[in-house]
Each structure stands twice: as C-alpha cells, then as structure tokens.
Structure 1
Amino acid sequence: MQIVMIIDKRTLAAISTRNNKVLCKFLILEYLESWPGGMTKEAIFNFLESHTETDVKAGKGRVVYDYLNELIEVKLINTDTSTPVKYILTEHLRELEFIPVKKCNVPLLKSWEHSLRNYSHIPIFGELQQYIGDNKEKIAEWEEEHRGEEAFPTVSFDAPADYHEDDFLFDCYYAIYECTEISFRYTPFIGDPRGDKPVDVIDFRPYLLKEHKNRWYLVGKYKGGEEIETFSVGRISSIIDSEGSRFERDPFDPDHIWKHSMGIYTRWDKGERDENGNLIFYDTPIDISFRVKDGLRYQNIDYLKTSKIHASQELTLPGADGYATVKLHMFPDSDLVREIRKQGEKNVKDITPDFLSRWVMEDEE
C-alpha cells in the first residue's frame, strides 16, 4: 500500500501555502518509497527544489536536513551505512499501512458495510470489504460475544441497488488515484456538442468521479486543455489505455466548479452557434425568477423553503394571489428546467428570462 493511502496528498497540497514543512515531509516519504535502496540528502533536496508546490530553494539545504532529522526522530526514516549516506524508509512506517479495528468499533464498521452496500460498484467499497476481511478475527470475536445481534445501516443513500454502469468505474477511479492519463471510446448522448457518433478520447486527465442523479461522470481535462470536461461513465464502451503518462494535477475545487450549477454542468448554452457551426457556451450565471403557488394537494412553497433549488435561492412570502416569487442566480441548465416543471405547469408563471420560460413551457418563439 502506498504512503498516499496513509496521508491524503491532495489535502497536503491544498495547505502547502500555509504549511510548507508538512508538505515537504510528506513528499520526502513518498519519494523514498519510490527508491527502496534509499536516496542521498542532495537527491532529496533536488527533488523538493524541483517540486512546484514547495518553497525549497538554493541555500535552504539546512532546512531539508532538519526535516530529515525530524523524520528520523519519529522513526519514519533512517540512514544506512553507505557513503554518501542514504535515507531509507523504516519498517515502522510500513506497519502503519494496516491499523486494526478496535472490537468496540466492529458494529460501526459493519453498519457502514450495510449502508454502502448499494455502492458496491465503486472501488472504495471493495477497499472497505478488504479492511473488514483483514479484521475478520476481531469481527468473529465480536459476533461470538454478541450472538443474535445484527449490524444495521445507520444511513441510506439513493444509489440504486441494480446499478449496471460499473464496467469502467475501476479504471477511472485508479487513473484518478494514480494521476495517470486515460484513453477510452465514448458514445455521446443525442445532442451532445461532441456529435452523435462514437469518438476516441485520448490522453484524458481525470480529476474526479462525480455522481449525479444515480449516474456517474468522469470529470477532468484534455491534455493541454484548460476547460473542465465531463463524460458519462455509462457511455464509455471500451478502455483504450488506462495506464497512460503520469500528470501533475492543476488546482481543482469541486465546490467552486459547480457553484452555479444544480449538478453536473460547468457551463450552459442557448442553442446558439458561431459562424463555424459550434455551440456558443457561457460560464457566467444569470438572474432567474419565477412565481409559484401551492398545488391542489402538494405544498410547493413550504417544500421550497426547506429544500432549495439552489444555494442562491431567495423566496418571498405568498401574495394575495397565493404566488410566491423564487429568485435564483445560477446556470439555466436542463436540471433547472426539469426542477421548475416539477412544481406543476398550472402552478408556475412569470418565468424570466424569456428564453427559459420557453424552455420550461416548450413554447415556440
């Protein structure tokens, strides 16, 4: 098991500007793991100096030496007897790869196994089952002492139990984990700007697997590209190469990327095309509003109070006519169109802007 499974590299990278020392120590451990025979202080210094996220420059060799000594003090690394001296990982660090579960935590572990059962198609569930298998003796002891007691789920997720789009989730997951480019054949949806015929996506740099409405999406960038691209995993028909070149991850903040979206979209379009016939995309949110009233049976307004359409939502009190006004600042994407329609055609009016009203009501211009 790699050290990156003990310490989250991306977490450390995110705080690198605030704690260069922590990041450097982690990188030293990761570097030494790649060189079982050990590396000299000079080689380690050169590695840190070349790393874009560290602040190790010429003249700071003493700082690196201090980092190495601190890692020796906590028994994570040691030196050998060669000349020049090389630094190597210790067995103590490798012992940290497996941390046994306490018997008192067995019910919690089994509970999570039940809760995540519908996610058995993603690799993290397999890792959980492997951990449970590694602790089978401790779990067997608990089950013997608590005969008749059964673990039960404490939370429930919307993931369908009969999910069938898992063929290539593992390839995508590990390409993200290993920061390696992946190439695959993809069949776009009808109306996709990429066209309606299968295409070969080559040297794609994956950043995230994102679930939206019980469908999994692979999110990342083309090699040399800047735009965030999204592919439905269920539309991948084959993997061309899952072990491409390693790449350096750019800053990637999911909360920021989908701040103005209800789900998976990172931009929107009006169906307009440029002189070359390409769709014109927008990446800025717009002001949206509509009026809504309760239906004969269902309380739309109370529901919108407790379950906002989007984080930007503002909701007024109902007027004399029973209508409340909903204001949003977001992308007018297909998810929003469907959400407004859910309120009932006879319960919604005064949708702005006009083009969104036409989309919701399916009115011709």
Structure 2
Amino acid sequence: MPKNKNFQLRIEILDELLSSKRKRSIAELLDTLNNRLEASGNTAIGKRSLYDDLNYLENEKGAPIKRATKADPLIYYTEPFSIKNIPVPEEDVAYLRQAIEILKKATDLNIINDIENIVVKLENKVHTNIPNSTTMIAFEEHTKALGQEHLDDLFTAIRERCALKVIYKPFKKEARDWIIHPYMLKEYRNRWFLLCRYEGADHLMTLALDRIQKISNCRNEFIDNVLFDPDTYFNNLIGVTLPEASAPETIKIAVSEESADYIITKPLHKSQRVISAAGDPMIIKVELFVNFELKSYLLSYGPRIRVLAPAHLREEMAALYNEGAAHYQIAL
C-alpha cells in the first residue's frame, strides 16, 4: 500500500471518525471520509481502499476496531485510542536524549537541534523529566574548522536536490563563480568537503568548504548523481582525493616490532590484513588508492613503518623522507 500524502490524510481522518462518539456503518464511514477528502482537494476512494486502510490501522497501529456484523453493522473503536497518542516508553525517550547529546558533540548541523525539539515534545508527552547525565563519550576536540557555516545550506540542498550558485576561491588562485549540483558532504581530519559537479561538467569534483566564499540559491534544474556511489566511494580511499584514471593498489608495509600491537589494534585502514606476524618486522597489506592523503598518513607513522610495495610508492615515500631530512640539515 503506498504511503503517500493522500494515504496519510485518509488514515488521520479514519482515526478521528472511529474514535468519535458517533458510530457509523461502513457506508456512512466511507461517505464521510470521501466528503472530507474532496473538501481538502483529494480524490475519493472506494470500499476496497477503505478496507485496506482499516486493516492498516488494525495490523500496523494496533487499533481496537470493532468490525461491522449483521447483528451490529456499526464500526468504531472499542476503547479509547488514537494514532496520535501512541505512548512512548520513558526508557526510549531517555535513549533518544542520550543519542542527541552525543550527536551534538559530533556535529554542528542545525538538524540536530530540530531533532532535539522533537525529543523535548516526547518528554512532555510522556510526562517525564530526563535528568542530565554525566558525560559518557568524549570526542576529540578540534579548533572549529572554517567553512562550517555552510554545512546547513549544503545539507539542505543535497536533501532537497537543489542546484546552487557558489563563489569558490582555491588556494593561490582567483575566485570562481560556479553553478554546482551537490551530492555529498565528507569530513576528513576536521575539514569539510563537498562532492558535487558543476554545470556543464560530466565528472565529480571536490570542494573544500573553507574555500567557499558565498552560497546562493539557483533555479537551474538539479542534475541527479550518476557519477559515484556514496555508499562505496570511500571504501578504498583515505581522505577525499581520488586520483584520475587509477585503481586501488595492494600496498605492503613492514611494521616495526614495537609498533606491531598498535597497528593491529588500530589498523591503518579497514582493508588491512596481516601477511606475516612472526618476527620483526610484521608485514601487512592494505588495498587503497595512492593519493596525497595516504602518503601524508603514512608519513605520520615515521620510522615505525616502511612501504615495501608497490615500487613507485616506496620510491615516493623515500623521496619525501629525504626531502624532510634535508630540511633538518639547515643550520638555525
């Protein structure tokens, strides 16, 4: 059964009629329902749809419906009931409150405040007062990243499928005016990025929110995302930069004995597998695209790890270490 706007309205009207003091026959119930539907600009329904709606109320909402019989042709609720007054256990409201508090620490999206308002209404509805609990989860605190003021506008545009006009200024380049079609927001190391396409392009691009100077509405027709799958796009990617015309590579890494336990308990990536755990060093492998973020991530482990393959990545890492070491040869 389709759960469209007309359906929801029918269910609400039926719920009101069945809970009223006036008891109606099936014919009267259908006639009253259709009068209400047509008055609100909706299409009338037939008896079969009415029975489907009654079955939905009874089976999905637990409505105590007294069905029509030859002895009693009236149909009504046998006890006080309304789909608008389905009780919510106090324990469930407490869990929602805890979840909201956690989400508020993790993100600044205004939608979290909207959800919190719903929880407040639920607390009032079940006549409960959930006390503030002590902090149970502490997130790593960062300085507030530039560009976060754009999060809500971009989130809304993605949800409502709206094109946008943006003024974007890359580092050390002139500002550019673009019409973009936003698809996904991605956070990496306390910096936010937008995956989108710009008008006229057939490829994906990634914009850093801290380089967006202005966002405004646009009447251009939204172009749906056929460029990537948001559920799998980051499976073999560290960071947000996907190299063009490339594929994930098997990267073999030697891990020093003193860091082996750390790397096992905190893997470099979810694709990490141990090839050889015996001896020093331990050998692991990961399946990843080779990009700037990966090389920076590997550098963060310093001498504790060493890339064995592929050869081009090993050579690039060696060059980066040599360049870094050269900087320390400069006298202060």
Please report how far the alpha carbon of residue 250 of structure 1 lies from its aligned counterpart in structure 2 after TM superposition. 4.1
1:309 to 268, 281, 303: 268
SS at match of 1:263: coil
CA distance in 2, matches of 1:186, 1:206: 14
Kept in 2, the 8 Å contact 1:32–1:38? The answer is: no
Kept in 2, the 8 Å contact 1:186–1:201? The answer is: yes
SS at match of 2:215: strand
The answer for the alignment partner of 1:60 in structure 2 is none
Count of aligned residue pairs for this structure pair: 269
CA distance in 1, matches of 2:226, 2:8: 20
Kept in 2, the 8 Å contact 1:107–1:151? The answer is: no
2:160 to 153, 157, 178: 178
Worse overlay, 299-308 or 98-107: 98-107
Kept in 1, the 8 Å contact 2:167–2:215? The answer is: yes
SS at match of 2:174: coil
1:199 to 151, 170, 176: 176
The answer for the alignment partner of 1:283 in structure 2 is 246
Deviation string 1:55-82 (CA, Å, 9 cap, x unpaired) is: xxxxxxxxxx988974586479xxxxxx
2:310 to 353, 358, 362: 353
| Pair 1:328–1:199, CA change in 2 (3 A) | same
CA distance in 2, matches of 1:334, 1:96: 54
| Pair 1:30–1:66, CA change in 2 (3 A) | closer
Please report how far the alpha carbon of residue 121 of structure 1 lies from its aligned counterpart in structure 2 after TM superposition. 1.8
The answer for the alignment partner of 1:338 in structure 2 is 296
SS at match of 2:186: strand
Write the letter of the residue equivalent to 1:284.
A
Write the letter of the residue equivalent to 1:142.
T
Instruction: State percent identity of aligned pairs.
Output: 22
The alignment's TM-score, normalised by the length of structure 2, stands at 0.66
Alignment of 1:1-365 (within 5 A): 25-26=2-3, 37-38=41-42, 70=52, 74=56, 101-119=88-106, 121-135=108-122, 137-138=124-125, 141-143=127-129, 149-158=131-140, 160=142, 162-189=144-171, 196-202=173-179, 204-223=180-199, 225-241=201-217, 244-250=220-226, 253-265=229-241, 267-268=242-243, 281-294=244-257, 299-318=258-277, 320=279, 322-345=280-303, 347-361=304-318, 362=320, 363=322
Kept in 2, the 8 Å contact 1:338–1:360? The answer is: no
The answer for the alignment partner of 2:19 in structure 1 is none
Kept in 1, the 8 Å contact 2:193–2:207? The answer is: yes
The answer for the alignment partner of 1:61 in structure 2 is none
Worse overlay, 220-229 or 285-294: 220-229
| Pair 1:27–1:283, CA change in 2 (3 A) | farther
Kept in 2, the 8 Å contact 1:119–1:159? The answer is: no
Please report how far the alpha carbon of residue 244 of structure 1 lies from its aligned counterpart in structure 2 after TM superposition. 4.8
SS at match of 1:167: helix
Kept in 2, the 8 Å contact 1:119–1:125? The answer is: no
Please report how far the alpha carbon of residue 340 of structure 1 lies from its aligned counterpart in structure 2 after TM superposition. 1.7
Please report how far the alpha carbon of residue 339 of structure 1 lies from its aligned counterpart in structure 2 after TM superposition. 2.4
Deviation string 1:83-123 (CA, Å, 9 cap, x unpaired) is: xxxxxxxxxxxx98998754333322322232122245213
Larger Rg: 2
SS at match of 1:168: helix
Root-mean-square deviation (CA), in Å?
Answer: 3.9
